[in-house]
Amino acid sequence: MIDNPSEQESEYFARQQFERMKKLDEEKQKALAEKEKEELQKLHFMRCPKCGMSLIEIDYRHLKIDRCSHCDGIWLDAGELEEIVNDDEGRFTAFLRLFKDS
């Protein structure tokens, strides 16, 4: 003779099913977000944030910086501004040493 599941058992299995469905939905949303991110990157990669035209990589000292082919805007990647400033500070300090009394 099989007994009907108790209320606690039914609640347990309902909760388990809900958690599985929730996890599947989160994974699906994550995959969609990744796909959307990739598509946006393809659309905007090497495009000027100001006018949307193509960016061209140019050499500036030891860095490759991005210049807009249309509006001539200059765009830097993460960390490039700090490198430029640090290089310039070193040159400026060396220049000032020329005028200091030895």
Are 45 and 38 a contacting pair, CB within 8 Å? Answer: no
Answer whether residue 102 is part of any domain. Answer: no
Domain limits at 62? 55-97
Residues 41 and 2 placed together within one structural domain of the fold:
yes
Q: How far apart are CA 41 and CA 33, in angstroms?
A: 12
Task: Answer whether residue 2 shows pLDDT above 60.
Answer: no
Strands of 74-75's sheet, edge to edge? 55-60, 63-68, 74-75
* pLDDT tens per residue across span 7-31: 888 889 999 999 999 999 999 999 8
Residues 30 and 65 placed together within one structural domain of the fold:
no
Answer whether residue 67 is part of any domain. Answer: yes
pLDDT, residue 102, reads: 53
Of residues 89 and 72, more confidence is placed in: 72
Domain count, the chain: 2
Task: Answer whether residue 97 shows pLDDT above 80.
Answer: no
**Strands (DSSP E) along the chain, which ranges?**
55-60, 63-68, 74-75
* pLDDT tens per residue across span 25-58: 999 999 888 999 888 888 888 899 899 899 999 9
Answer whether residue 50 is part of any domain. Answer: no
